[in-house]
Chains A and B, each alone.
Chain A
């Protein structure tokens, strides 16, 4: 058992995955690099010492002192790396445990409310219903937030669930649109779709891609309002969302275009980072966790694709992603 543990300590790739860091940042690997540098410089100082110092005892002593100092420094550096990596892992575990623990009471809350609101535990009057509605919306928001936090902690741990299967992009898109049609109608949005027919099948995780597209679409709807709407001509006041997709080489190219508030220039570089919410959005909307786009980017990158956007404040945003039809993991 002890031997197996020692061997496991030296399995850098596995350890790096456990800590959620790249292998070249792993303490053991760094220690090995530093060790090699130390050995090399010891030999070098011996060679130089022989040339300039006559007494071999002095040379030996110098080398011992030099090596000792280098080793101590190396040890300190790698130790602090190890501590940092461990802290990151503990944080991620903490998020995961807390989110799991939060889920059970939340289910109780959400289902209990659903039961009450259905009137099966007694009739609910007008004003009460309004407050129940507030409770329901907020508990659903909390549930979404907890779910997002769990996904983020899985991403950070390198444990994003991924079921590699062939699926049709058009099929997936139609499923999502069915879910979103009522929401878009209620938000008075003119929706348009323009896509290439008979696309090849995609190899990847359809439920994760579902998550990405839903998120982009939801953002497009949520941020479709206009600032200073009254001063804008009626035609431009109309909110429009368009989805376009086509085959480009070996990849699928899809973009979701809106004419909503857009993202201020100074905020654009942070848009895919965790917990970031744009300043113009914060003025109007309290909802949103700032995790959606971070998750979307992680998922697309897990599928060996890329994601990006272009946006202009008050004009609108276009979010696009590219995904290979055949995941390269599958070909190797």
Chain B
């Protein structure tokens, strides 16, 4: 069973996405802040990471950078899922190595699930 790490500070969103993904047969681990997310990524070595950008403790960019710097986590595909949609933010996340950048309000839940299936 493939594991998805969800780093998202909105617990309601975490629940919805987590539920939708687990019904598709994924196993879910989730973190509410950047630091916890990094720790879980090291411990659990998930198959895909869904990462919000505005996060407490360490923001999404810092998390992404750190993930890509560490041998154990640098090959895990990271999908950014956020409400930031500035060109600079998108470019920065892609430069740091995110495989996809999804603006929450432009995607349906099903489309997010499809994206995760596609990269996992």
B30 shortest CB reach to chain A, Å: 15
Complex interface bits, B1-30 against A, C-beta within 8 A gives 1, otherwise 0: 000000000101100110110010000000
Chain A binding surface SS class = helix
Interface status of A112 (Cβ within 8 A of chain B): yes
B109 close to A114 (CB less than 8 A): yes
Interface status of A108 (Cβ within 8 A of chain B): yes
Complex interface bits, A103-125 against B, C-beta within 8 A gives 1, otherwise 0: 11011101110110010110000
Complex interface bits, B81-92 against A, C-beta within 8 A gives 1, otherwise 0: 001011100000
A163 close to B87 (CB less than 8 A): yes
Q: Which residues of A contact B65 (CB under 8 A)?
A: none
Q: Which residues of B contact A118 (CB under 8 A)?
A: 110
A120 in contact with B16 given A107-B83, A114-B110, A143-B105 (CB within 8 Å): no
Interface status of B104 (Cβ within 8 A of chain A): yes
A115 close to B19 (CB less than 8 A): yes
Q: Which residues of A contact B118 (CB under 8 A)?
A: none
B10 close to A115 (CB less than 8 A): no
Q: How many A-B residue pairs have CB under 8 A?
A: 45
- In the complex the two chains form, what is the Cα distance from A120 to B17 in whole Å? 12
B109 close to A115 (CB less than 8 A): yes
Q: Which residues of A contact B108 (CB under 8 A)?
A: 110-111, 114
- Count of A residues near B, CB < 8 Å? 19
A120 in contact with B19 given A103-B83, A111-B13 (CB within 8 Å): yes
Contacting A120 at CB < 8 Å: which of B10, B20, B85, B105? Answer: B20
Contacting A112 at CB < 8 Å: which of B12, B23, B87? Answer: B12
Chain B binding surface SS class = helix
Interface status of A100 (Cβ within 8 A of chain B): yes
Q: Which residues of A contact B87 (CB under 8 A)?
A: 161, 163
A108 in contact with B16 given A114-B108, A147-B105 (CB within 8 Å): yes
Q: List CB contacts (< 8 Å) of A85-143 with chain B.
A: 100, 103-104, 106-108, 110-112, 114-115, 118, 120-121, 143
B12 close to A115 (CB less than 8 A): no
Q: Which residues of A contact B19 (CB under 8 A)?
A: 115, 120-121
In the complex, residue of chain B having the shortest beta-carbon distance to the beta carbon of A143: B105
- In the complex the two chains form, what is the Cα distance from A146 to B106 in whole Å? 12
Q: Which residues of A contact B104 (CB under 8 A)?
A: 103-104, 107
Q: List CB contacts (< 8 Å) of B55-110 with chain A.
A: 83, 85-87, 104-105, 108-110
A108 in contact with B13 given A103-B105, A147-B105 (CB within 8 Å): yes
Q: Which residues of B contact A163 (CB under 8 A)?
A: 87
A108 close to B12 (CB less than 8 A): yes
- In the complex the two chains form, what is the Cα distance from A221 to B23 in whole Å? 38
A146 close to B105 (CB less than 8 A): yes
A104 in contact with B83 given A114-B109, A114-B110, A115-B16 (CB within 8 Å): yes
B20 close to A107 (CB less than 8 A): no
B10 close to A104 (CB less than 8 A): yes
- In the complex the two chains form, what is the Cα distance from A104 to B83 in whole Å? 7
A111 close to B23 (CB less than 8 A): no
- In the complex the two chains form, what is the Cα distance from A53 to B74 in whole Å? 86
Q: Which residues of B contact A161 (CB under 8 A)?
A: 85-87
Q: Which residues of B contact A115 (CB under 8 A)?
A: 16, 19-20, 109
B80 shortest CB reach to chain A, Å: 14
A111 close to B17 (CB less than 8 A): yes
A111 close to B16 (CB less than 8 A): yes
Q: Which residues of B contact A103 (CB under 8 A)?
A: 83, 104-105
Q: A107-B104, A115-B20 are in contact. List 8 more A-B contacts (CB 8 A).
A: A103-B104, A104-B13, A108-B12, A111-B13, A112-B16, A115-B109, A120-B23, A147-B105
The 7 closest A-B pairs by CB, nearest first: A107-B104, A111-B109, A103-B83, A108-B12, A114-B109, A161-B87, A111-B16
Seen from chain A, the residues whose Cβ lies within 8 Å of a Cβ on chain B are: 100, 103-104, 106-108, 110-112, 114-115, 118, 120-121, 143, 146-147, 161, 163
